[in-house]
Structure 1
């Protein structure tokens, strides 16, 4: 009998040694992952993600999040598998009152639709990068914006209903608001007007291009990618706004003067077209009521 038991045990050991690849291909693990070493926790979570994603590597911040949940919040393996499935399952519109996952992958900005009309709140942070409201995520009417690596789940801040306008900032509506992306970090600035905004004066060497490095939202302006500028209300400021524009180019870094029809009011930079910065007072300016100037390689589209 002892010889038989010994033979069976030896066969089992040899079988286990003969199939190491199988144990590496499937993320078999106990429900309580805290019984495993940290290296084994990393291995089974990584394998589970690879299996569900078709071979992709789990993002480092998502792996760190799962390890924290295992060792601090007692998540079981089944809960991790379900969460991985949700993270890989796309972003279908959830039922009213559910949650929406919105992720800034590789620090790229992302805007996600939500099914509620009011503001949103952060329900669960998934990233190692911080998710700070007003800095790396922002709630908007019907959507959530994330940036700088923030990955999180969001829910409605309160029962759905009409979204109130932002509280106006101090100062006249006809003034300007400076909004700056420092160290290429995204920034959202409130403005005292409820309508859209327009760029009044670029302050940065980095181009401020609407829809790319800045955009107007209801009661606020977003800047990113190093854009620093002053903004004013798109209507009610800066002339008749009849849509006239002209391009003025500094070729070979020379100072060039371009005509400007005085009947169209005060010109402003609509879009920087060159790699060289177009900064009012430094590389472009108003020569007179009938002309504008550019220099040092600035090439821009100017209008009112």
Structure 2
């Protein structure tokens, strides 16, 4: 999963604040947690009353080492982690029970044939809120965050995982928006929401060598996506109508 950040540099007044302390529009449970990868070692912590963590974003970086999502920090289930020298205060959005945001539910089969990555966009979904193994088919294990997971309205499997999954989601539509920071300059791109509310924005196809990281090189509101630091990508935007 790739989360949404909440603050932008003061010089960019258009994107100054995003609702729900910048996590997700439907974030009803959030916590502020300080995590430190001392001597560049891996460190993890369980969020005690959380069933599933929905997003994790940097509130304030303390270390000189960068804090990059999936490289030096991330989450899995109800656990958050840091590595590679990252030290920061993080904003955590989570659910207290597995069905808290299960407004709509479906079952589907996904297969990582030949141990290859495979993904599928969930039709009629603005955002997937949880994904659990209902019946494992493969001999290879299906571990959340390692061999299966979700980002926005897209679900994925990898490393040989084949299973039938139970998926909770919020109904809506999804559109793609291409936005490019050329010569490392900021660029603002309009989202065609038609009056709807944006629930998720994730890079679907990278077009740059520079990474597209939430809160670092891309941000969003209900109306626009802003990219910077050389990020160029096609974004999948989930919209609640």
TM-score class, shorter-chain normalisation, is 0.3 to 0.5
TM-score (norm 2): 0.33
Structure having the higher helix fraction is 1
Which of 1 and 2 has higher RCO (CA within 8 Å, sep 6+)?
Answer: 2
